[in-house]
Structure 1
């Protein structure tokens, strides 16, 4: 036995008058003798609960003992009878799980088992089986009672929906005098407009709040309109939990006419028929939301310049002749709460701007020896039609970008950088030769893959082609990154510092775009797997701030900030 730990002797009686074998002195005497002669324990501590019930674990001495167990101070817990520590098998099961977690041996003298032995463990497992049975039987009894109450039209204690309140005298829901009028209005507005968005807007314009005082969304409005309680019917056991999956129809309790209708049942039926019809339309194959589509700039990349909220996907734009189908994005605050007036954004603008800016940044990095001033750098970064409306890059940002590219960034800027390489040529070491050979091999593999897909009808499916191309492209990008790192002198290797530029360079090289004067994004996106584009964006970008559909800021993962001031910016 570990001498640093103690043996806990736990005793309990529910009243002060219990005698004989249930008395505290008797329990203490028996436990002490067992520990002394059988366990040969030298350090013992008595935990005694007098006049405490064993129905639950809310007992001072028991809680103090469990605290010491969790602190690792106890090696054994010894009781005279198992019901002294717990009469509730469920509580005992939970307690024993903690005993096992902290390597505490449990011993009951009366039942004669010791969990340090195989037999003792087996006996305890039998007890735990019955504990599980008790849990299930109790659960079934509770569910049975609740269902019986529901079938009798009795309320089972759920939170009151909008338009209703609880009457403690009748112990039954009734109409809330204020909310009920607003509730009927919501049904009337939907009946006229057939749009949850317009109902939401009506609520905002007329300051109609939810039950908890929050703002309505299209989802909460839909749930409210769909609640059969509003036409007087009682539905119970509909979901496994508040937001859980719907239960099978044969398990749902549905009793019509239990409550006084909040709205005319005919109006409720008419509204829900429209909801069902609109839902059926959204499930058609032509609906863009049903298709599995990868949205390149989704997932919190786009931020609203007005309110700071993320943009979310609104819908897909029409497909172009080359197969490119851009995503359209909207400010979440505008769409959900109508709390922002920001315009939407499109892949057409964002994609062309971003990929050409990254291309220009890569070109500037490679031409750093020819860049003498921040103005020279700005001319390179803003070359292209996508940037024709930009007046300038924020001077403080431009200076940091310039310092990063030149390798003279100021300490404490919080931005990592690529140091300027030494003038001497790099030596072609064997490792570099091997990397270049591997890059050439992967490039040839990509060419062969493309030809096989285009000219051999039986070679592979489109899905197989895209998957294989994505894998080869990622491998080529990693190899090109290693080549770029190897070309940096060891004295500067502390820096893969603007390492995202290496990644961007490799990415563009993989698609033969590095030397291109301009990236036509619609053609580029049509020819590249959207998931590859999305992964690349997520790899190097922290966020892109959008104002009136245009990017006004790009912040890269390394903290490099790029703010753009447009010619029509009235704040300048």
Structure 2
């Protein structure tokens, strides 16, 4: 019997001799030898959790080979090696059963080819899943306890590392970079120097922990992170540190890099900074985002919004402008690819629509002229056919009258002529029907209705939802190229078929 072995260890289990890949393989080979199985392959996943199938390449290969019926039985050291999820386990067993394959576990001593083995499998699978949930809960409890004791629950930011006791300690050379960033930001006073800080770091040759260049978002997140002031937090999302319902901040056990007074001062600057306090307006869809091309570096331009200056409306209420613009994506990278280029929605959107409107209307009239020419040809054909059919029907009617009034015994000439005319009329009526069903002729008949619906693209465009505007634009436009003085240089369109779907 052709047998294969499946062995797996998680990262934590690799250090334990009994769990090792070599130990499992050795035991299973002896097991196969005792049953006189022919081991043809060993599938192994090293340093991988048994939580699910998706991250286990060897197991996925085994299941693929099972579907191809490349073996007869799968041997495992322990049920949990195959899966800790009951659902995944039963799914794998179903695949094995469908392809006439059994599997045996060395530790649990059962065979899935028997009814008792299948029942035992479900029972043990439930236990395996229970164990996994218990482990996950214990890990969560452990992390929460670490947080209560003032320790970080997970990864720690740039400037720190864990020692052998899992305590966060300062990395001196990285701490110097942190201090430079915070000091530079304090000196800016208005909080609008993050891009400059990013570029200075990259120009100096400083790298992130992953040896990459700095970007604007990373710098902002660092300035907002209280870990540098000696605090730990939980219940936050990354990028802007959005609070969950159970979010909290407590004094940490680690040494701060930035004093609390400096951190609080920076927090106040950030709070007062219009450009740092980004406000997302869900109703504001940037129609041309990612279609505009920066004239300075060729990068794509994305939507960007922030709260502008205060103003008093007609009711005497104090309001703030929402400043909306398109900004080059390379502006944030801090890699000096672009000095920074942006243009407001209000300034550019209408100009783009005017250009598209002119193009679409021009396309309409050019298409119309072509179709009207077709219409003339098709109309002449229809008229000619209709006149000929009318003439033949009149002639056929005359032969019927002559046939009825004839006194001769030989009526065959009349019958032959009537039949001939009948066939001719049928053929012409068929030809007329084909002409009228012609796609071009049908389009021509609908032309007037078409013009009345979208003869003005701009009017149509501004009377649909913002989401629909964005969808239509992406079917018509590929790229929009700007000049350095924020004017339209050219608009690259998609193929005419797509445009014709709106013309």
Q: 5 Å matches for 1:393-432?
A: 422=374, 424-426=376-378
- Is it true that 1:202 corresponds to 2:145 in the alignment? no
Aligned to 1:546: 482
Q: 5 Å matches for 1:42-191?
A: 45-46=38-39, 66=62, 69-70=65-66, 72-74=68-70, 76-77=72-73, 84=77, 86=79, 88=81, 90=83, 97-101=91-95, 103-104=98-99, 105-108=101-104, 115=112, 120-152=117-149, 158-159=155-156, 161-162=157-158, 164-166=159-161, 172-191=167-186
Displacement of 1:363 in angstroms is: 4.4
Aligned to 1:467: none
Displacement of 1:264 in angstroms is: 1.4
Aligned to 1:533: 469
- Is it true that 1:488 corresponds to 2:440 in the alignment? yes
Report if aligned partners of 1:204, 1:215 keep a CA contact under 8 Å in 2: no
Aligned to 2:261: 266
Aligned to 2:300: 310
Structure 1 residues 269 and 119 mapped into 2: Cα distance closer, same or farther (>3 Å)? same
Aligned to 2:355: 357
Structure 2: which 5+ residue stretches go unaligned? 8-17, 21-26, 51-57, 315-321, 383-436, 498-503
Number of residues paired by the alignment? 394
Report if aligned partners of 1:86, 1:92 keep a CA contact under 8 Å in 2: no
CA distance in 2, matches of 1:117, 1:558: 63
Report if aligned partners of 1:328, 1:347 keep a CA contact under 8 Å in 2: yes
Displacement of 1:182 in angstroms is: 3.3
Report if aligned partners of 2:224, 2:240 keep a CA contact under 8 Å in 1: no
CA distance in 1, matches of 2:222, 2:142: 27
Structure 1 residues 23 and 139 mapped into 2: Cα distance closer, same or farther (>3 Å)? closer
Displacement of 1:537 in angstroms is: 0.9
Aligned to 1:333: 330
1:544 is paired with a residue whose SS is: strand
Q: Tell me the C-alpha RMSD between the 2 structures.
A: 5.4
CA distance in 1, matches of 2:64, 2:468: 54
CA distance in 2, matches of 1:65, 1:273: 55
Structure 1 residues 280 and 140 mapped into 2: Cα distance closer, same or farther (>3 Å)? farther
CA distance in 2, matches of 1:294, 1:165: 40
Among candidates 246, 251, 263, match of residue 249 of structure 1 = 246
Report if aligned partners of 2:230, 2:257 keep a CA contact under 8 Å in 1: yes
Report if aligned partners of 1:90, 1:135 keep a CA contact under 8 Å in 2: no
Structure 1 residues 344 and 166 mapped into 2: Cα distance closer, same or farther (>3 Å)? closer
CA distance in 2, matches of 1:277, 1:349: 27
CA distance in 1, matches of 2:350, 2:237: 47
CA distance in 2, matches of 1:171, 1:359: 64
CA distance in 2, matches of 1:180, 1:307: 34
CA distance in 2, matches of 1:234, 1:539: 48
Aligned to 2:291: 301
- State the Cα deviation string for residues 382-409 of structure 1 (Å, max 9, x = none): xxxxxxxxxxxxxxxxxxxxxxxx9xxx
CA distance in 1, matches of 2:244, 2:464: 42
CA distance in 1, matches of 2:329, 2:49: 48
CA distance in 1, matches of 2:331, 2:4: 64
Aligned to 1:461: none
Aligned to 1:436: none
TM-score normalized by the length of structure 1: 0.53
CA distance in 1, matches of 2:357, 2:31: 85
Displacement of 1:539 in angstroms is: 1.7
- State the Cα deviation string for residues 497-533 of structure 1 (Å, max 9, x = none): xxxxx99x9997535527xxxx6xxx87665533333
Aligned to 1:231: 229
Displacement of 1:91 in angstroms is: 5.8
Structure 1 residues 344 and 149 mapped into 2: Cα distance closer, same or farther (>3 Å)? closer
Displacement of 1:71 in angstroms is: 6.2
Displacement of 1:552 in angstroms is: 1.7
